[in-house]
Copies of this chain bind each other. A is one copy, B any other.
């Protein structure tokens, strides 16, 4: 078959521009690789006059989304405007009109995914969403196809480039969180309202999407425990380094006896582990399957061209189906929508792991005894203690690393400790994941 595949693009922002650049600039390459012509026939944006720095035929530009949705010849509808509405409405309408859709909209899929995927199944169209998780890294395809023979134990990763960039700068330059954030904002690396990125919400959106595919469970955004990076101080970074760790904002989905752990929080990982070396805007995923063992994927998690690369890969996947006159070859979620089973969530209270505490202690005799007494009473045993100070400061940081302990007991202990008159501020807690370095035998 040699028919042309017509693609409409909604949203000519950062990712939209990257997508358009690839579709317009690499049409020869894409035709050779797919055996068909993929034509970007319409681009819709509210602003179609400002130059995006590359040449776009004016006749394909429109600011009327109806000219995409109502075009019977449009095969694939790409939504890159982000946010819940009107993205959701446009996507659903495109689906109902029998158009295949591609989106990078993680917020929408993490909160309204079931609606979108069910509609697509009902109308027999494809939903491509590789670009919603991990930018240019083909990680969703790895979960659904390349590692299809596996039951997954753990899906874990650094899924937000802005947060990772901030932590990297804090680590390398010993800068304070607020200073790095301000710098990142002035450089355009962080948004004016950085809440989604720094508070772990964007990371949690991505975790919901990838964990749904990997574990085949109905996961709701509210199922994810979320903690951001805004409370991390240069002191924490420096102590962490001394202990041989680095702090990363990690998303973790792990299958345990008590159910599926779903959590996003700053995490100390051994500095020799490959994930600890993933710096700046890079994202990385560690997938653990029962047959394959550990697989790591790493790449740029955001940005015009990397994310555009993922959007176009989805377009090509759909085009390759259309060339063969088929659809639904791989289910959007890797298995039928109605095969998703209810989530059995592992409650945070039952988490067991190692912890980093930084106490803000009043410089007075007996403080250490009172803290360690409370910890001991709750069965939290201490692996290392560091107290640094010159003896004159009114308040000194005391840092402890625990052995394996239970989260509920840790919370109870910190409640009691933070109420002590010798504690002058809220204790900083960072969870530790003692990931094995990748080093097994042959």
Contact = CB atoms under 8 A, between A and B. Distances in A.
B277 A438 contact: yes
A398 interface: no
Contacts of A30: 148-149
B136 A316 contact: no
Contact of A326 (B29, B302, B310, B324): B324
Given A295-B137, A296-B296, A298-B295, A309 B33 contact: no
Contacts of A328: 324
Given A138-B146, A141-B146, A329-B323, A291 B316 contact: no
A390 B230 CA distance: 54
Interface stretch (A5-13, A334-342, A345-353): A334-342
A285 to B, nearest CB: 10
A112 interface: no
Interface in A88-143: 130, 136-138, 141-142
A148 B184 contact: no
A280 B190 CA distance: 38
A320 interface: yes
B150 A309 contact: yes
Interface residues of A, number: 83
B442 A189 contact: yes
A426 interface: no
Contact of A299 (B33, B295, B310): B295
B280 A441 contact: yes
A178 interface: no
A310 B149 CA distance: 8
A272 interface: yes
Interface string A273-302: 110011111101000011111111111101
A249 interface: no
Contacts of A334: 33
Nearest to A297: B297
B291 A18 contact: yes
A437 B280 CA distance: 10
A22 interface: yes
Contact of A32 (B298, B300, B339, B440): B339
B296 A292 contact: no
A305 interface: yes
A145 B303 contact: no
A190 B309 CA distance: 39
Interface stretch (A79-87, A161-169, A355-363, A371-379): A161-169
A165 B441 contact: yes
A412 interface: no
A151 interface: yes
Given A142-B146, A147-B309, A282 B439 contact: yes
Nearest to A302: B442
Contact of A439 (B22, B26, B189, B279): B279
Given A324-B326, A441-B189, A306 B279 contact: no
A368 interface: no
A198 interface: no
Contact of A277 (B187, B306, B317, B437): B437
Given A138-B145, A162-B442, 13 more contacts: A18-B291, A26-B149, A33-B335, A137-B295, A145-B317, A149-B313, A274-B274, A279-B437, A293-B305, A294-B300, A296-B297, A324-B329, A325-B326
9 contacts: A26-B151, A30-B149, A130-B146, A141-B145, A168-B439, A189-B441, A293-B300, A294-B300, A298-B438
Which 10 pairs from chain A and chain B are nearest by CB? Answer: A138-B146, A149-B312, A136-B292, A189-B442, A295-B299, A296-B298, A291-B309, A292-B309, A280-B439, A281-B442
